[in-house]
Structure 1
Amino acid sequence: MTAPAGRVRLHDLRTRPDGTEWIVGRMATGQVVALPEAGKRALDLLGQGLATAEVAERLRAETGEDLDVPDFVGALVDLGFVAEVDGSRVSGPRQPKPPFARIRPGQVRWLLSPVLPVLIGLLVAAAVLSRPPVPMSYCTLLWSGHGSAVIALGACFGWTLLLLHECAHLLTARATGVAGRIRLGTRLQFLVVQTDISGIELAPRRHRLTAYLAGIATNLACASLFALAAHGTDGTARRVLAALTLLSVLPLPFQLMVFMRTDLYFVLQDVLRCRDLYGDGLAHAGYAARRMLGRARDSADPSLGLPAHERRAVRVYSVVLVVGSALCLAFLATVTLPADVALLVRAVTRLGPGHPAAQRLDSAAVVVALGGIHLLWLRTWWRNRRTG
């Protein structure tokens, strides 16, 4: 677009220092950018109502450098940071309505309280110390002799827990002012529900880490409550509560797969002070692969442009990314797919008229559940691939 040359009115922007740069963005849209000191100073002067020519003159006097302020303002317009140019309103991209739009930051501010993690820690400690009747075995999940009942409980509770997990991220981010959005996604062979909380980078570190870890805390809280409740029951109720406890804990090892941008990946990225650990790691891994194949003669290692601490982290992460992805896909090929195919084949063979009606109904439920999950994965993967 043609760069504006007059006065501008900026949207409500938040900033925080990050090393030698500044993180600047809009919580409402989740759009975030890193600016050097000169860019931050230009942004401040524009926010004071100075015209672009006045800003350029002030910066020249302060730094001795010429900054193309009109082009800078044009970039701000493209980012959606500018509300008006010379009194004329600037239309930005239409933002979809976020989920739970009626929930305001002030209503969920308590989720950021430092007391909450302490309470969850005490709840988990109480559950562990009480030695709950929850054997850590696959047999705990097989609480019923009817496979359809086992799958139904696993599917219903699994998706409910996923939504609670993602809502914890969403509402904790909402407490900081980030709208957040929930959608389906894929991570290698896994179908996942993921929450986009872009803009959380503008929040203080404790709030960022709280938002990243809110889902894990929700799983631990649910597991602890079910484990404690199992003490006061017996029979089928105890078996169901034990299964629910284990189902609450089972997703947590998945979070260790940081090569798939899990919750702990974002914690790791924040702690290591990296901007895009996954993207930079993928780029470095691609360069390393081309170099091994002798095809990197005319290209430079993309990690060389990163700060020293970030470069080291990216290079180590690229190894984790390649090895982890390879092992995950190998497990899919040798374990998951053969097991799913065997289960589906067995279910299909029992759909015929020679089997009892209850067994045919059970087999039909297995076919619908497993087949539906795989079809949903394919549809989600294709949609996300087309939308980029």
Structure 2
Amino acid sequence: MSTARVLFHPLTFIEERDGITVGRADIESYALLPEDGVALLRRLADGATAEEAAVWYERTFGESVDMADFLDTLRDLGFVREAGEAVAEPPKLRFQTVGRIVFSRPAWVVHLALLAAAAVVMVRHAELRPHAHNVFFTSSLIAVQVGVALFQSPAVLWHEWFHLLAARRLGLASRMSLGRRFYYVVVETQLDALRSVPPRRRYLPMLSGMLADLLLFSVLVLLAAGDLSGGLSWPGRLALAVAYTVLLRLAWQFYVFLRTDLYYVITTALGCTDPHAATRAYLRERFRRLPRVGPSDWRTGDWAPRDRAVAPWFALITVGGVTAMLVTVSLWTAPLIWQFAHHVGSGLAGGGTGDPHFWDSIGSLLLLSLEIVVLPLYAGRNRKRTAAPPVPAPSS
């Protein structure tokens, strides 16, 4: 066993319910270690050689340790600083000052004032309250679909921007990236660096996206309120249309079974690691006798103790998320679909091919079919083509 000292990059140690999260924030590498493993790591970091640390561990905990395997794990995590390797420097962060301003006490006064003002005008003016008919800000269905769609990406970017700023405020190297879910391009914020701060400091970065949605909704309602004096013009109606879609996206965060922002808030509050996967395994185990229920690794899986203990109760939270989805669909989404169908039906049954509303309805249906039929089929074929194994070349 080597008698040389083991060098380490700067590490963070955060106490969790099932152990201690040790991490290297600059490369976002983290591991949940038991207390004896952390004690051994700290012994090495304090200057003990591998041989001295192994002797100390056996004397302290009454059992031997495979030091070579332990060090290999630490190297794989990027914790060990090899000979000649420079000490990792904290990443240079942009927008940290902006984050501190956005979530400062004066800013919170502004945030709350906007929310309160929007609530007041909605109480006073029924036409400003969320309703499915707000989405149809013009008689042209094509204009409605295109107009609402154009504002979705900026609204999502605003949501993710608040996630990034809340994490940057803490000095964490959060970042935004483009991804794809099925055939949709999505913006995602990587918040792995939250594992380097105590759990109580993780809530604001997790919830800040919902705050952004509430603020955007409030601003749009207030813009529409400023247009009430002479009757709502199309900009005011467009603001209410976008506000309705923002509200739908905010409601989506309550579908915790889809691992939304609230899922990670609940996971942090419960001190869990992956309750979603543990709960799925638990439910498959409970209902394994039912047809078409897949095999479960509940009994054999290496679940974190806290995840295993919480799984039966997290199943109820999952049911709550499904209930929230059903309520949203019933109260907000279904009326929107009904309104769209009514407009299309009226256009098709109107003045025939000489009526502009007839052709507007036809074009709207074509746009809808492009989104829910053509693009999914194309994405599915493209995914199968990507996943298919390469055809071997014929041998000569």
TM-score range, shorter chain: 0.7 to 0.9
Per-residue deviation, 1:114? 5.9
From 281, 291, 309, give the equivalent of 1:283.
281
Q: Deviations along 1:299-336, whole A, 9 cap, x unmatched? A: 653689654x644531232355479679979x8xxx89
Aligned-partner Cα distance in 2 for 1:141–1:66: 67
- Residue 115 (structure 2) pairs with residue 124 (structure 1): yes
Aligned-partner Cα distance in 1 for 2:118–2:62: 64
Per-residue deviation, 1:164? 1.2
Aligned-partner Cα distance in 1 for 2:152–2:298: 45
CA contact (8 A) 1:284 1:302 kept: no
Aligned-partner Cα distance in 2 for 1:143–1:297: 50
Name the TM-score, length of structure 1 as normaliser. Answer: 0.76
Per-residue deviation, 1:66? 1.6
Q: Deviations along 1:129-155, whole A, 9 cap, x unmatched? A: 233541322111100011121111211
Per-residue deviation, 1:25? 1.4
Larger mean CA deviation between 297-306 and 310-319 belongs to 297-306
Structure 2 residue runs of 5 or longer lacking an equivalent are 388-396
Per-residue deviation, 1:64? 3.0
CA contact (8 A) 2:162 2:209 kept: yes
From 311, 315, 324, give the equivalent of 1:318.
315
Name the TM-score, length of structure 2 as normaliser. Answer: 0.74
Aligned-partner Cα distance in 2 for 1:151–1:312: 46
CA contact (8 A) 1:30 1:197 kept: no
Aligned residues: 363
Q: Deviations along 1:184-210, whole A, 9 cap, x unmatched? A: 3549x9985433312312223343111
Match of 1:367 in 2: 366
CA contact (8 A) 2:12 2:25 kept: yes
Per-residue deviation, 1:34? 0.8
Aligned-partner Cα distance in 1 for 2:192–2:42: 23
Larger mean CA deviation between 190-199 and 41-50 belongs to 190-199
From the superposition, tell whether residues 302 and 107 of structure 1 become closer, same or farther in structure 2 (CA, over 3 Å).
farther
CA contact (8 A) 1:282 1:321 kept: no
From 299, 317, 326, give the equivalent of 1:301.
299
Aligned-partner Cα distance in 1 for 2:296–2:258: 30
CA contact (8 A) 2:223 2:239 kept: yes
Per-residue deviation, 1:268? 1.0
5 Å matches for 1:100-249?
103=94, 105=96, 108-111=99-102, 113=104, 116-117=107-108, 119-131=110-122, 133-176=127-170, 177-186=172-181, 193-233=187-227, 234-249=232-247
Q: AA paired with 2:177?
A: I
Aligned-partner Cα distance in 1 for 2:313–2:219: 38
Q: AA paired with 2:135?
A: L
From the superposition, tell whether residues 117 and 72 of structure 1 become closer, same or farther in structure 2 (CA, over 3 Å).
farther
* Structure 1 counterpart SS, 2:370: helix
Per-residue deviation, 1:276? 0.8
From the superposition, tell whether residues 217 and 31 of structure 1 become closer, same or farther in structure 2 (CA, over 3 Å).
same
From the superposition, tell whether residues 21 and 180 of structure 1 become closer, same or farther in structure 2 (CA, over 3 Å).
same
From the superposition, tell whether residues 112 and 59 of structure 1 become closer, same or farther in structure 2 (CA, over 3 Å).
farther
Match of 2:393 in 1: none
* Structure 2 counterpart SS, 1:243: helix
Larger mean CA deviation between 222-231 and 287-296 belongs to 287-296
Larger mean CA deviation between 117-126 and 318-327 belongs to 318-327
* Structure 2 counterpart SS, 1:246: helix
Identity %: 25
From the superposition, tell whether residues 154 and 165 of structure 1 become closer, same or farther in structure 2 (CA, over 3 Å).
same
* Structure 1 counterpart SS, 2:48: coil
Match of 2:55 in 1: 57
Aligned-partner Cα distance in 1 for 2:4–2:368: 60
Per-residue deviation, 1:118? 5.1
CA contact (8 A) 2:98 2:165 kept: no
* Structure 2 counterpart SS, 1:10: coil
- Residue 2 (structure 2) pairs with residue 8 (structure 1): no
Aligned-partner Cα distance in 2 for 1:252–1:166: 13
Q: AA paired with 1:314?
A: A
Q: Deviations along 1:269-306, whole A, 9 cap, x unmatched? A: 11111111112112222323325569999965368965
* Structure 1 counterpart SS, 2:128: coil
- Residue 257 (structure 2) pairs with residue 259 (structure 1): yes
Q: AA paired with 1:19?
A: R
From the superposition, tell whether residues 59 and 260 of structure 1 become closer, same or farther in structure 2 (CA, over 3 Å).
same
Match of 1:94 in 2: none
Larger mean CA deviation between 202-211 and 156-165 belongs to 202-211
From the superposition, tell whether residues 195 and 50 of structure 1 become closer, same or farther in structure 2 (CA, over 3 Å).
same
CA contact (8 A) 1:185 1:194 kept: no
Aligned-partner Cα distance in 2 for 1:315–1:43: 34
Aligned-partner Cα distance in 2 for 1:258–1:118: 29
CA contact (8 A) 2:284 2:296 kept: no
CA contact (8 A) 1:5 1:70 kept: no
CA contact (8 A) 1:151 1:366 kept: no
Per-residue deviation, 1:161? 0.5
CA contact (8 A) 2:4 2:50 kept: yes
Aligned-partner Cα distance in 2 for 1:299–1:148: 49
